[in-house]
Amino acid sequence: MFPLYVIRGEQNLLIDCSILAKANAIEEKLQELLGKEKIDLVLLTHSHYDHTGACSHLQKKYGFEIIASKRTKEILENDNAIEFIDNLNQKFKAILNDHSNSTFTKPAQVRGIGENETIKISDSQLIEVFETPGHTRCSLSFLLKPENILFPGDAAGVIEQSGKIKPLFLSSYTLYEQSLKKLIAIKAEILALPHNTAIKGERKVQEFLQCALREAQKLKEEILAALQNTIDFALIAENILIREFTFPTIMGPREALLINITAMVKSIFHEFVKIQ
Ligand SMILES: [Zn+2]
């Protein structure tokens, strides 16, 4: 469910940090992979609990710097947000029968970065930064060049093992659609998704992103139709959860799924209904 990507070179980079319940497993795999080398830098695509969960645990071992959006940096400096991220991670630990006393704590050394900035990894490789809000306000995508490998975080939604794409416009539908169009224009060779799989080949990447766009538009229409009958956001979200998210690939606390769908209903309401 949580593939992690390590970029190896003069410095070693890790993209996102998965959940706290996987922290020990990640540490073991990194040990196998890196031997005496370490992780020098972590790039966070956004602040969600399932992308930051193992971050503080791994940072204690490796002492890496973290690069994220300015908004993610703010969130990771906020005590309430840290508690919220820890809370969802504890719930996920319970689901996975992890009864250890590990906690998510405030990470150190977080540097904020934004659109058009680059991160140099070696003389021949760099990472371009794209702001891709809509999934969250804090979402960034990273493009590794010259390989043309794109790390979009959840900006394009989440792909299920069946191949179906679940849209996730949690902060803004309008920005989510704009961000997807931005990702399409990059024409990446590989789409390194943070859940389940990666998409290889420019044509397949384009197909995936176009499909993600269509699925988002479809869900928008469904929510708009539901809003004709009621503006009880929680009720609409419950109905969508029952119908669409019964067997989500991203198994997680039901609370987190419901928070996500309610956020999408609210975004459609505020951007397309309320203004009329
Ligand atoms: Zn997310």
The alpha carbon of 45 and the centre of ligand 1 are apart by a number of angstroms equal to 9
- Let me know if residue 13 belongs to a domain: yes
Predicted structure pTM score: 0.93
pLDDT in tens, 162-182: 778 999 999 999 999 999 999
Q: Write out the DSSP string of the chain.
A: ----EEE-SSS-EEE----GGGHHHHHHHHHHHHTT----EEE-S---HHHHTTHHHHHHHH--EEEEEHHHHHHHT-HHHHHHHHHHHHHHHHHTT--S-----PPS-EEEE-TT-EEE-SSS-EEEEEE-TTS-TT-EEEEEETTTEEE-TTTT-EE-TTSPEEP--SS-HHHHHHHHHHHHHH--SEEE-SSS-EEESHHHHHHHHHHHHHHHHHHHHHHHHHHHH---HHHHHHHHHHHH-SS-SS---HHHHHHHHHHHHHHHIIIIITT-
Report if residue 95 sits inside a domain: yes
Is 261 contained in some domain? no
Q: How far is the CA of 47 from the centre of ligand 1 (A)?
A: 7
Expressed in angstroms and rounded, the spacing between residue 36 Cα and the centre of ligand 1 is 32
Residue 161 lies in a domain: yes
Q: Would you say residue 263 lies in a domain?
A: no
Count of domains in the chain? 1
pLDDT of residue 258: 86
Does a structural domain hold residue 53?
yes
* CA 67 – ligand 1 centroid, Å: 17
pLDDT, block means (10 residues), the chain with 276 residues: 92 96 95 95 96 96 97 98 95 91 96 96 94 97 98 93 88 98 98 94 97 96 95 92 64 76 95 80
Question: What domain range includes position 98?
Answer: 5-213
- Predicted confidence at residue 255, as pLDDT, reads 76
CATH number at residue 151: 3.60.15.10
Is 262 contained in some domain? Answer: no
Distance in Å, CA 48 to ligand 1 centroid: 5
267: in domain: no
